[in-house]
């Protein structure tokens, strides 16, 4: 797979490389030096960097458009409300949702999953019910469901993964029975880079009339998302992994499900009327957006979506694949380095271990060369247990990375080996 | 190739390669397991206090990074033969060293352990160096509640805090 793709990607690199270098210049932070060394930022799966147009959008909002939304009748409030709504519509288009009210702004992926756990899970999951999760879920798609399961007396069932880091589809199928009431599924593994066959998995769940939540935190930056084609019931991701600001994310939910759910947080904006006898909840999406939302961050989210859409997610994915292939080849050449997660379908993230060297030592020594990688368990301890490692180092790439940075990483890894020789 | 300001100096690398006092005592008077949940490091310390309250035997084992292992190795070498109170002094001084609170120009008892002074510039690694010392403290004070430690420091000392003396 990697070899054939590698060959096909050889042609045309000369012209696309020029474009990507220009795009890279949109990111002021990438000009930073760390301890005199050029920053080599390879921790994009944790958080990506922000391009100038998004920074400019935030500045424009704060300097000329800010007020609270959905409230007052004055000029600024109307501008802010309109821009906030436009951001929602951009997200709707980005994931091809049928209606804008199906997009709920949350504080991030974790918040969105918790919203579904409280709003859907606490209302519809009962004692004896079963929730299917996978071994490669991020803790954010494990812990809320465990909390629900222990509150309700429900049971968590887990889809295993094979040695390549791919879900075992047959085992997934076997987990379904009449008690199955919910599936939580990560689209792309943050620890392994594996792209899961979510369409097949959603279709199977729907044969049992079970709703599916897709954690798209690692997928949205790299893959085209079409929630209607996928037919998923919920889809969640954060802005800051898509070159947007922290503090905002989104929940897509099918309107009928969102309507049936109970609110997650109570407060202003989520009500139609309040008396001490009875409160009538507001319509979608407001029912799930209590209090003043992260207006600036949401508008920045919209600007980030514009930025990525203009480049094109498919072009981004194709370019990142060339980075993945090159990095995989170079790391495989170093003896003593082992890549954890070798699925046939991967995004540009590589977890690796080094013989006899702890990931935190690797991370600290790479940092001395200006290289930023993530080291640790990646909030995916079940994955670490599956591969019998306490932690890994992870280099994760974005479209603004370049092959020469992979060369710096390779040199850095060789320095690590020299230190521990 | 090596950076002069590197934390990974030869003495640390040497203790990582050939840790001293590595293993477990068969009949310890004091024992504790330290765990850093953030990175998965786990350290087991067992020691023998004699009738004069001196540490006449100490051993450690566990899974950890080089900084933690070297710190543990050098710590066991430093406290072996010391009284409980001298060991506690070293624990306090080492914690201060790692967090940048110790003035290394003033008199102290750390000796070669000052090789860890560079850790103060790496906040995310401080707990790696300090974990063995926290675990030793927990072992020596086996009656103390382990959770008090956690409030004091992000490094948690968990369970298995036993005293058979």
- A415 with B1: Cβ contact below 8 A: yes
Cα distance between residue A65 and residue A82, in whole Å? 10
Cα distance between residue B38 and residue A275, in whole Å? 47
How many other CB atoms are there within 10 angstroms of residue B103's CB atom? 10
Cα distance between residue A307 and residue A320, in whole Å? 17
A379 is catalytic: yes
Of A48 and B125, more confident:
A48
- A361 with B8: Cβ contact below 8 A: yes
Q: What is the mean pLDDT of residues A322-342?
A: 98
Look at residue B153 in the predicted model and tell me its pLDDT. 54
All residues of chain B having their beta carbon less than 8 Å from the beta carbon of residue A384 are: 40
Cα distance between residue B29 and residue A183, in whole Å? 50
Cα distance between residue A144 and residue A139, in whole Å? 9
CATH of span B10-157: 3.90.1010.10
Burial class (CB in 10 A: 0-12, 13-18, 19+), B9: middle
For tokens 């997934």, name the residue. Answer: A172
For tokens 């821009």, name the residue. Answer: A83
Q: Among A247, A256, A272, which Cα is nearest to A98's?
A: A256
Q: pLDDT for B24-78, tens place per residue? A: 999 999 999 998 877 778 899 999 999 999 999 999 999 899 999 999 999 999 9
For the cut 70, the answer to whether the pLDDT of residue B158 exceeds it is no
H helix or E strand, kind and range, residue B157: strand B156-157
H helix or E strand, kind and range, residue B98: helix B84-98
- CB-nearest to A358 from B2, B7, B64 is B64
Cα distance between residue A50 and residue B116, in whole Å? 36
Torsion sign, CA atoms A130, A132, A135, A137: negative
Helices (H) and strands (E) in chain B, counts: 5, 5
- A420 with B65: Cβ contact below 8 A: no
Look at residue B145 in the predicted model and tell me its pLDDT. 33
pLDDT band at A10 (very low <50, low <70, confident <90, very high): very low
- B13 with A420: Cβ contact below 8 A: yes
Q: pLDDT for A250-270, tens place per residue? A: 999 999 999 999 999 999 889
Give the distance from residue A376's alpha carbon to the nearest chain B alpha carbon, in angstroms: 6
Q: pLDDT for A198-255, tens place per residue? A: 999 999 999 999 999 999 999 999 999 999 999 999 999 999 999 999 999 999 999 9
Look at residue B7 in the predicted model and tell me its pLDDT. 84
Domain boundaries, chain B: 10-157
Q: Which residues pair with A237 in a beta bridge?
A: A250
Q: What tokens were used for A181?
A: 């009431």
Least confident of A5-14, A31-40, A250-259, B11-20: A5-14
Look at residue A318 in the predicted model and tell me its pLDDT. 96
Catalytic pick among A89, A232, A243, A379: A379
Cα distance between residue B147 and residue B149, in whole Å? 5
Nearest CA in chain B to A416: B2
Look at residue A319 in the predicted model and tell me its pLDDT. 96
Cα distance between residue A19 and residue A319, in whole Å? 11
Nearest CA in chain A to B14: A420
Cα distance between residue A307 and residue A302, in whole Å? 9
All residues of chain B having their beta carbon less than 8 Å from the beta carbon of residue A390 are: 39-41, 63
Look at residue B5 in the predicted model and tell me its pLDDT. 53
Cα distance between residue A107 and residue A89, in whole Å? 18
Q: Which residues pair with A132 in a beta bridge?
A: A157, A183
Q: Count how many residues are written for chain A.
A: 421
Look at residue B67 in the predicted model and tell me its pLDDT. 94
Q: Among B116, B55, B66, B56, which Cα is nearest to B89's?
A: B55
Average pLDDT value for chain A: 94
Q: Which domains does chain A carry?
A: 2-31+313-419 (3.90.1150.10), 55-310 (3.40.640.10)
Look at residue A72 in the predicted model and tell me its pLDDT. 84
Q: How many CA atoms lie within 13 A of B34 on its CB side?
A: 33
For the cut 60, the answer to whether the pLDDT of residue B3 exceeds it is no
Cα distance between residue A269 and residue A8, in whole Å? 52
- CB-nearest to B8 from A376, A377, A419 is A419
Q: pLDDT for A149-206, tens place per residue? A: 999 999 999 999 999 999 999 999 999 999 999 999 999 999 999 999 999 999 999 9
- B39 with A390: Cβ contact below 8 A: yes
For tokens 């589809």, name the residue. Answer: A169
Q: What is the mean pLDDT of residues A303-318?
A: 97
For the cut 90, the answer to whether the pLDDT of residue B81 exceeds it is yes
All residues of chain A having their beta carbon less than 8 Å from the beta carbon of residue B67 are: 360-361, 364
pLDDT band at A17 (very low <50, low <70, confident <90, very high): low
Strands B30-36 and B162-163: antiparallel
Least confident of A115-119, A212-216, A295-299, A374-378: A374-378
Q: pLDDT for B95-149, tens place per residue? A: 999 999 998 888 999 999 999 998 988 888 899 999 999 999 999 987 433 333 4
Which residues of A have a CB under 8 Å from any CB of B?
357-361, 364-365, 368, 375-377, 384, 390-391, 415, 418-420
CB A147 within 8 A of CB A135: no
- B66 with A358: Cβ contact below 8 A: yes
Q: pLDDT for A58-84, tens place per residue? A: 999 999 999 999 888 999 999 999 999
Cα distance between residue A238 and residue A236, in whole Å? 7
Q: Where are the alpha helices (DSSP H) in A25-118?
A: 52-60, 75-94, 109-116
Look at residue A18 in the predicted model and tell me its pLDDT. 54
Separation of first and last alpha carbons in chain B:
50
For the cut 80, the answer to whether the pLDDT of residue A6 exceeds it is no
Cα distance between residue A27 and residue A30, in whole Å? 6
Cα distance between residue A162 and residue A287, in whole Å? 41
A190-212 residues labelled b (16+ CB within 10 A) or e (exposed): bbbbbbbebeebbebbeeeebbb
For tokens 């429900």, name the residue. Answer: A154
Separation of first and last alpha carbons in chain A:
34
Percent of chain A with pLDDT over 70: 96
Q: Is B57 left (phi over 0), alpha (psi -120 to 50) or beta?
A: beta
Of B127 and A95, more confident:
A95
Backbone angles phi, psi at A398, to 5 degrees: -125, 170
CB A331 within 8 A of CB A339: yes
Cα distance between residue B25 and residue B60, in whole Å? 9
């Amino acid at each position: 797979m990697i070899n054939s793709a590698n060959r096909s990607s050889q042609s045309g690199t000369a012209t696309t490389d020029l474009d990507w270098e220009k795009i890279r210049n949109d990111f002021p932070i990438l000009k930073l030096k760390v301890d005199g060394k050029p920053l080599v930022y390879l921790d994009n799966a944790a958080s990506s960097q922000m391009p100038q147009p998004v920074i400019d959008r935030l500045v424009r909002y704060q300097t000329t458009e800010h007020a609270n939304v959905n409230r007052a009748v004055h000029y600024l409030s109307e501008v802010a409300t309109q821009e906030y709504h436009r951001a929602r519509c951009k997200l709707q288009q980005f994931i091809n949702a049928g209606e804008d009210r199906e997009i709920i702004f949350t504080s991030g992926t974790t918040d969105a999953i918790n919203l579904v756990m409280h709003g859907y899970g606490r209302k519809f999951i009962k004692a004896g019910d079963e929730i299917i999760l996978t071994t490669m879920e991020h803790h954010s798609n494990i812990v809320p469901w465990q909390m629900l399961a222990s509150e309700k007396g429900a049971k968590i069932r887990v889809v295993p993964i094979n040695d390549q880091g791919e879900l075992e589809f047959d085992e997934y199928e076997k987990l379904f029975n009449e008690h199955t009431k919910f599936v939580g599924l990560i689209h792309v593994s943050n620890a392994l880079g594996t792209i899961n066959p979510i369409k097949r998995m959603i279709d199977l769940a729907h044969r049992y009339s079970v709703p599916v939540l897709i954690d798209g935190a690692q997928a949205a930056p790299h893959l085209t998302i079409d929630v209607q084609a996928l037919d998923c019931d919920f889809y969640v991701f954060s802005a800051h992994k898509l070159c947007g600001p922290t503090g905002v994310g989104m929940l897509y939910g099918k309107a009928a499900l969102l309507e049936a759910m109970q609110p997650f947080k109570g407060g202003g904006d989520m009500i139609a009327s309040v008396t001490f006898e009875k409160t009538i909840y507001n319509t979608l999406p407001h029912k799930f957006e209590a209090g003043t939302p992260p207006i600036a961050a949401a508008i920045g989210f919209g600007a980030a979506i514009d930025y990525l859409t203009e480049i094109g997610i498919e072009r981004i994915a194709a370019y990142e694949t060339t980075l993945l292939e090159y990095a995989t080849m170079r790391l495989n050449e170093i003896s003593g380095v082992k890549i954890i997660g070798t699925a046939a379908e991967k995004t540009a993230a590589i977890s690796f271990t080094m013989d006899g060297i702890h990931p935190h030592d690797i991370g600290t020594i790479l940092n001395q060369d200006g290289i930023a990688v993530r080291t640790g368990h990646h909030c995916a301890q079940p994955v670490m247990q599956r591969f019998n490692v306490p932690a890994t180092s992870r280099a994760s790439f974005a479209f603004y990375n370049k092959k020469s940075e992979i060369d710096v990483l390779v040199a850095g890894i060789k320095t690590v080996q020299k230190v521990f020789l | 190739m090596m950076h002069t300001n590197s934390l990974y100096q030869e003495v640390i690398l040497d203790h990582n390669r050939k840790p001293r006092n590595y293993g477990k005592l068969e009949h310890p008077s004091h024992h504790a397991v330290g765990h850093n949940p953030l990175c998965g490091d786990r350290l087991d310390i067992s020691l023998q206090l004699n009738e004069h309250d001196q540490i006449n035997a100490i051993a450690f084992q566990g899974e950890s990074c080089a900084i933690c292992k070297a710190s543990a190795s050098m710590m066991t070498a430093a406290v072996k033969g010391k009284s409980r109170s001298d060991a506690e002094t070293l624990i306090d001084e080492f914690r201060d060293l790692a967090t940048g609170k110790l003035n290394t120009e003033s008199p102290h008892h750390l000796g070669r352990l000052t090789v860890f002074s560079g850790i103060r510039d790496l906040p995310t690694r401080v707990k790696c160096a300090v974990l063995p010392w926290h675990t030793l403290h927990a072992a020596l004070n086996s009656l103390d509640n382990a959770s008090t430690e956690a409030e004091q420091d992000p490094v948690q000392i968990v369970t298995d805090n036993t005293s058979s003396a």
